[in-house]
Chain A
Amino acid sequence: MLKSDRTFFLRPQDMIGIAILAILLVVVLPLTLDNFRLQFVGKYLTYAFVALGLVLCWGYAGILSLGQGVFFGLGGYCMAMFLKLESSSVEATKIQTTPGIPDFMDWNQITALPLMWQPFNSLTLTIIAVILVPALFAFIVGFAMFKRRVGGVYFAIITQALAAIMTILIIGQQGYTGGINGITDLRTLNGWDIRTDSAKTILYFVCVALLIACILIAYFVKSSKLGRILVAMRDKEDRVRFSGYDVANFKVFVFCLAASLSAIGGAMFTLQVGFMSPSFVGIVPSIEMVIYAAVGGRLSILGAIYGTLLVNWAKTSFSESFPELWLFGLGGLFIAVVLIFPNGLAGLWQTYIAPRLGPLFGGASARRASPPAATPPAAPSSGTAAPAAAE
């Protein structure tokens, strides 16, 4: 009957795409990269969570947030607070004036653990906080703005201001947040040393598993009626409103979802890299994260993942050889995306490569309902695999 008539939320070409990404991340990269490089990929993947949220929020719903670093940071800080408390046991900190509290608090003449730190003694509460604290914050911001119909460029500017405010707040409240240094010297997770190579490899796989889970969530949302409402809203907001929907609620929802996804990435960042600092919260990282999604293709869930990996790989290799040139490169890349390939790598894949592989991808090239989203695996993946060959 209808082509749009499907019962399962993944189309065959989506499953192939996810499978290829999974094989790349679980088999190909771990086998071809040394531990040191694999840890880099693990770090990049934590940004991919943010890019994933941006695809839903920006690509589908048309809400450009230039402050996703705030949510990445909130997730990261929640996790860091737990790890810090664990590494600040009374014996480990017995040289302090007040043993048993994080070192930076002691340096700032704080003599008891602040109330806001208390819940982070528990891992369960921490995991809940990683997901809920950013969502709650996004809810407050989103509710206040979307109910008042603040949108478009104004919303982008306000989120950017939030990123700046959050950085200033974290740096200013040194006694509670560790200030500009962030929260460092994290050692164990429930007694398990996260600094060893084997722990880092395990964390890499945990990160990949979580990312795949989040990708599935994104596909589920995208293929539900809610996903189509987001696209409809981006196009004709008034028509959706006058079809009986409270548009603001849908925007708040997708903004909160993007915040939670970013926060999971932030928490995984803290675990893999071993610290969290305000430099991952501010304006610059927030905009970089938007570029990841733009390069990969803001309408493509998988494209954004590849975009993140590629841009970060380029950043690492570039800044190893020409550190001062990287920012120009990044700026140029962004301009190129906007001017030449507005739908990013996924768009290129779809226009030039997918039609030639048509039969292979279950008719991905055939015209299909919702936005030009059917997604692209192999093209960018060969690019990501390139560093392996290059090393």
Chain B
Amino acid sequence: MNTAVIADTMNKDFVLAVEGLTVSFDGFKAVNDLSFYVDENEIRVIIGPNGAGKTTVLDLICGRTRATTGSIRFKERELTKMKEHEIVRAGVGRKFQNPSIYEDLTVFENLEISYPKGRSVPGALTFRRDRAVKERVQEVAETIFLADQLDQRAEYLSHGQKQWLEIGMLLIQDPELLMLDEPVAGMSVSERKKTAELLNTIIKNRSVIVIEHDMKFVEDIAHKVTVLHQGKILSEGSMAKVQADPKVIEVYLGH
């Protein structure tokens, strides 16, 4: 079976191919010889108990943490050797677990900073807020339900709105691979529903990796689920298959 998987992977153009990825912090292997592949337009959900290494995997892909060994290829480019901003410019967007927005700036300005233009020092000095920028910001603001709050300072938004704003900041970058770390954590039921709706609109034409604990939410959106445990893949496949896997049941319920 293993050889079949490898043969299979050789023939396909994956958006993201993670192979033999290992990172150790002072001898502790947070991620251990991890391999997985993400298809074009696929929604992959990573689940696993606390400390399984889920966030570390995202950190490794976006360059925040450097891999000890292994490779991460994104559209045939090796990400492990690139700097964070180069990875972003290559088309990888990352949402953090806690809403990471600029509280002192308005919603408009938050989105504008993420607009993929004028990213160098001279570019930022001469950046003009032209029609294209305004229209794009307006469009994204409507998608994330914040069109009426464009002039609001971001610190006055609710927790859920802050999460949406950060998703919007990623959206405006138009990444080919979008990584979301617990996008519905701490949200009310109605916000959660709206977020699922939002994710379903924004995943078109891109691949998405989501870390999430909320199983109902995972079931709603996942194409494929990867279960991590102690830095290794415990199980992978459809939601139904993963849920029926005795190893997964043991890890989740055995604790």
Contact = CB atoms under 8 A, between A and B. Distances in A.
B102 A236 contact: yes
Interface in A213-261: 221, 224-226, 228-229, 231-232, 234-236, 238-247, 249-250, 253
B39 interface: no
Interface stretch (B21-29, B112-120, B185-193, B223-231): B112-120
B124 interface: yes
B153 A369 contact: yes
Interface in B120-174: 120-121, 124-127, 129, 134, 150-151, 153, 166, 169, 173
Contacts of B62: 242
A224 B166 CA distance: 22
Interface in A10-53: none
B147 to A, nearest CB: 11
- For A224, A239, A244, A245, the residue with the greatest tally of chain B CB atoms inside 10 Å of its CB is A244
Interface in A361-378: 367, 369-371
Contact of B120 (A4, A232, A236, A249): A249
Contacts of A5: 129, 134
Given A243-B113, A244-B88, A228 B108 contact: no
Classify chain A: how many residues form its interface, as a range.
Answer: 20 to 34
Interface residues of B, number: 40
B247 to A, nearest CB: 34
Interface string A193-226: 0000000000000000000000000000100111
Nearest to B88: A244
Contacts, number: 105
A148 interface: no
B75 interface: no
Contact of B100 (A2, A239, A246): A239
Contacts of B102: 231-232, 235-236, 239
A369 B100 contact: no
A369 B85 contact: no
A250 B62 CA distance: 21
Interface in B69-122: 83-85, 88-89, 93-94, 96, 100-106, 108-110, 112-114, 116, 118-121
A225 to B, nearest CB: 4
A241 B100 CA distance: 12
B88 A229 contact: no
Nearest to B179: A242
Contact of A244 (B85, B100, B108, B151): B85
Interface of B: 62, 64, 83-85, 88-89, 93-94, 96, 100-106, 108-110, 112-114, 116, 118-121, 124-127, 129, 134, 150-151, 153, 166, 169, 173
27 contacts: A4-B109, A4-B151, A5-B129, A224-B124, A224-B126, A225-B112, A225-B127, A226-B127, A228-B109, A228-B112, A228-B113, A231-B104, A234-B104, A238-B96, A239-B100, A241-B84, A242-B85, A242-B96, A243-B88, A243-B113, A244-B116, A244-B173, A245-B85, A249-B121, A369-B106, A369-B108, A370-B104
Given A224-B125, A246-B120, 16 more contacts: A2-B151, A4-B106, A4-B150, A5-B134, A224-B124, A225-B112, A225-B113, A228-B112, A240-B113, A241-B84, A241-B88, A242-B88, A244-B116, A245-B85, A367-B153, A369-B153
Interface of A: 2-5, 221, 224-226, 228-229, 231-232, 234-236, 238-247, 249-250, 253, 367, 369-371
